[in-house]
Amino acid sequence: MRRNGPLALAFHTLVILFVLAPLAIVVLVAFTPDETLTLPTHGLSLRWFRAILNYPDFIGAFFNSVKLAFLASTLSLTIALPAGLAIARARFPGRNFLNALMLSPLVIPGLVLGIAFLRFFAVIGATGSFAWLVIAHVVIVTPFVLRLILAAASGLDRSVEHAAFSLGASAWTTFRRITLPMILPGITGGWLLAFINSFDELTMSIFVTSPQTVTLPVRMYMYATESIDPMMASVSTLVIAISAAAMLLLDRIYGLNRVLIGNH
C-alpha cells in the first residue's frame, strides 16, 4: 500500500480541523467566566453550568428527552426484535414489504414526517400527548434498531441452534440460552443507537411537541433563535458529553465503525 504524500496529509489535517472546530469551540466557550460569547475567554469558570440549574426550561426538557428516548428505543426494540428475526431468518409473504416499510422513515425527510404527524395528531385529538410523541419517535428510530438486528441475526451460525435442538432443548430455551446471547450485541447496539437518535432528533419533534412535552434539542433550538449567551454553550457541552459517553458505550458493545458504516 502506498503512503499518503505531504499534500494529502495537509488536506487531511484541514478536513479534521473543519470537522472538529465547531464542537471544540462550543466546549471552549462553555467554560467562559464572561457575560457574553467572546473569544478568547479570560480564565475558566463553571458559572454557565451552574446557570443551567437555575433555568428550569432546560432541566425539564432534558428529563423529557431522556424519558422519551428511553421509552421510544425500548418500545422500538420490542416490536422490531420479533419482526427483525422473522425477516432475517425466514421467507414469508409480505417479508420484503415489511422490511421496506420499517426502513421507510429513513428516506422520508423529518420535515415531512413532522407535519404529517402534526396533522395526524390534530385529527385524532392527540396534539401535545407524550404517549403519541413516543410513538412518533418509535417510527423514526426503528430503522436503526432493525438494521442492527438484521445484521446480527443474519450473521448467526445456525448450526449451534440445531445442536441445542438435537440435544433436546425446547424452542424457548434455545432462544434464551443460544440465540439471544449471540445477537445481544446487535440488540444493545441497536437500542443505544435508537436512544442517541431519539435524544438528538429535532426536525420532526419541533412540529409535534407541546410546551409540556418539549424535548432538549427543540428547547435548545428555540433558545438559540431567541437569545445567544454562554448558557447555550454549556448546555451544548453537556449534550456533547452525553453523546460521547453513549458513543464509547456503543463502541464497546458493538463497534462504532460497524454501526456507522455497516458491513464491517
Segment 142 to 181, residues that bind other proteins, using CB under 8 A: 142, 158, 161-162, 165, 170-172, 174-175, 179
- CB within 8 A of 218, min separation 6: which ones? 61, 202, 205, 206, 209
DSSP labels, 34-72: SSS--SS-SS---HHHHHHHT-HHHHHHHHHHHHHHHHH
User: Which of residues 49, 66, 221, 249 is near other proteins by CB under 8 A?
Assistant: 221
* Minimum CB–partner distance for residue 54 and other proteins (Å): 21
Query: Does residue number 198 form part of the binding site for other proteins (CB under 8 A)?
Result: no
Residues between 229 and 258 with contacts to other proteins, criterion CB under 8 A:
232-233, 236, 239-240, 243-244, 246-247, 256-257
- CB within 8 A of 31, min separation 6: which ones? 41, 44, 45, 46, 48
Closer of 42 and 158 to other proteins (Cβ): 158
Q: And the C-alpha cell for 229?
A: 449567551
* Minimum CB–partner distance for residue 5 and other proteins (Å): 8
Query: Does residue number 26 form part of the binding site for other proteins (CB under 8 A)?
Result: yes
Q: And the C-alpha cell for 124?
A: 385524532
Of 243, 223, 222, 229, the C-alpha closest to 32 is 229
Residues between 51 and 80 with contacts to other proteins, criterion CB under 8 A:
78-80
User: Which of residues 148, 196, 214, 253 is near other proteins by CB under 8 A?
Assistant: 196
